[in-house]
Structure 1
Amino acid sequence: MSNADINALMRKAGIPEETVDAAMAIDALLQNWRRRSQRRELGHRALIDLKINLELPQLDVLFSIEAPLDENGIQAPGETMVATVAERLGIDPSRASRIVSDLVDAGYARRAVSQADARRTIIELTEAGKTIVASVRAYKFLIMGDFLNSWSNEELTAFLPLLRRFGHWSDHTELGAEKFSDDIAALAAKIAADAPNSAAKETA
């Protein structure tokens, strides 16, 4: 569907033109942000500028072990196991295990015995690992803080609660899917009809 078709669909659903325009503009910004995030520009630059001899996946694992508050979607990190690392990063446990082993061998992490269950092996950062995590976080916030320093207090005060509110927009999916079930069914029917091997085309 073209932007004009989507615009018409949203207007038909009762969404005002101003909201339609805002949704499309926000989506375009987010798609660009996502692509830049996937390239990990800041992470690459931090490794270079701080002269850290690690790959980004290894840095990610260090952060997942340290689990800075709010950066992993958790409030109380507790003990970290290899399975915890895999879950936090959304990677295969075997890959998490290999990277953890590399970091242990390099002296940035260590294995220890759980205080809650002596049969359980946990992963902790060494002082060298903690220094890297703390330094990369400081690097990030220096750059972000300098960028935000050009914003007014009014802009900062308004932005954070709005961003936090917007961060939950996808929680609305189930309700939205129910509300627009007829429109969604029509879109699904069009996908089926235009599929390369659809029955309609086979009988045509």
Structure 2
Amino acid sequence: MLQKWRRRVGRRELGKMALDRLNLDIDLSKLDVLMATSAPTNEFGEESGETMVSTIACRLSIDPSRASRLVSDLIGQGYLRRGVSQQDARRTIVELTDKGRLTVEAVRTLKFMILGDYIKNWDSAEVEHFIPLLDRFSTWSEEAAQKDQTRFEPTIEALREKLKNELPEEG
């Protein structure tokens, strides 16, 4: 079930559909940058504040030079603008323009409409149970990465040995 869900999410079906249905002149990478710039706390797990190119790169786990190119493209298309930090005038920040803000809102609205349509026949008890469980589940990989995983070492070592001993050598 998780693999099926992961593959669907990996295909970015909702994002592609949103770009197509809203006739947007950007691709998924640029949409990701807009979302990372808008920085909802529930998505990135941090308080939104000033956003720099390095912030976007970190939020999307992409190379800073790639983030910089995408930001420059979006500035050229009128979705983003550069600004001056209120905290440090030497620092350049990235902000959504009205076009960028409206685009983010439209994409989110479309995605929520589709999700809402899917769960519209669920009773309130199902929704009340599902949402907190989904939120809890969505953090599993972050929590797993931060936990001490040494208890798995004996099993991991056995798996390494099995692979080493049972796979034919390439040559």
Report the CA distance shift for 1:150/1:107 in structure 2 as closer, same or farther (over 3 A): same
Report what 1:138 is aligned to: 109
Runs of 4 or more consecutive aligned structure 1 residues displaced over 4 Å after TM superposition: 172-177, 195-198
SS of residue in 1 equivalent to 2:76 = helix
Structure 1 residue 96 corresponds to structure 2 residue 67 = yes
TM-score normalised to the size of structure 1? 0.75
Q: 2 CA distance for matches of 1:189 and 1:51? A: 53
Percentage of matched positions with identical amino acids: 51
Secondary structure of the residue that 1:51 maps to in structure 2? coil
Match of 2:38 among 66, 79, 83: 66
Considering Cα pairs closer than 8 Å and 6+ residues apart, tell me whether 1 or 2 has the greater RCO.
Answer: 2
SS at match of 1:97: helix
How high is the TM-score relative to the length of structure 2?
0.89
The alpha carbon displacement at 1:160 in A equals 2.2
1:177 touches 1:184 (CA, 8 Å); kept in 2? no
RMSD: 1.9
After TM superposition, give the deviation of residue 183 of structure 1 in Å: 3.1
1:84 aligns with 2:55: yes
Which among 151, 155, 162 is matched to residue 183 of structure 1? Answer: 155
- Please name the residue that 1:55 is paired with: 27
Structure 2 match to 1:112: 83
Q: Which moved more, 1:169-178 or 1:77-86?
A: 169-178
- Considering only CA atoms, is the larger Rg found in Structure 1 or Structure 2? 1
What letter is aligned with 2:9?
Answer: S
Following superposition of structure 1 onto structure 2, how do residues 127-166 of structure 1 map, counting pairs within 5 Å? 127-166=98-137
In 2: Cα distance, 1:40 partner to 1:55 partner: 11
**1:172 and 1:55, CA in 2 relative to 1: closer, same or farther beyond 3 A?**
closer
Determine whether 1:30 maps to 2:2: yes
SS of 2:121 mapped into structure 1: coil
3-state SS in 1 of match to 2:43:
coil
Q: Structure 1 residues 169, 64: CA separation in 2 closer, same or farther (over 3 Å shift)?
A: closer
Residues in 1 aligned to 2:98 and 2:159: alpha-carbon distance in whole angstroms:
55
Kindly tell me the number of residue pairs found equivalent between the two proteins.
168
Structure 1 residue matching 2:132: 3-state secondary structure? helix
Distance 2:136 2:78 in 1: 41
Compared CA separation, residues 110 and 168, structure 1 to 2 (3 A):
closer
Q: Flag structure 1 segments of 5+ consecutive residues without an equivalent.
A: 1-28, 199-204
Seen in structure 2, the aligned counterparts of structure 1 residues 168 and 48 have a Cα distance that, compared at 3 Å, is closer
Residue 54 of structure 1 aligns to a residue in which SS?
coil
Counterpart residue identity of residue 62, structure 1: L
Distance in 2 separating the partners of 1:169 and 1:43: 23
Match in the other structure for 1:25: none
Alpha-carbon distance change, 190 to 59 in structure 1, aligned in 2, over 3 angstroms: same
Q: Say yes or no: does 1:39 pair with 2:14.
A: no
Aligned to 1:10: none
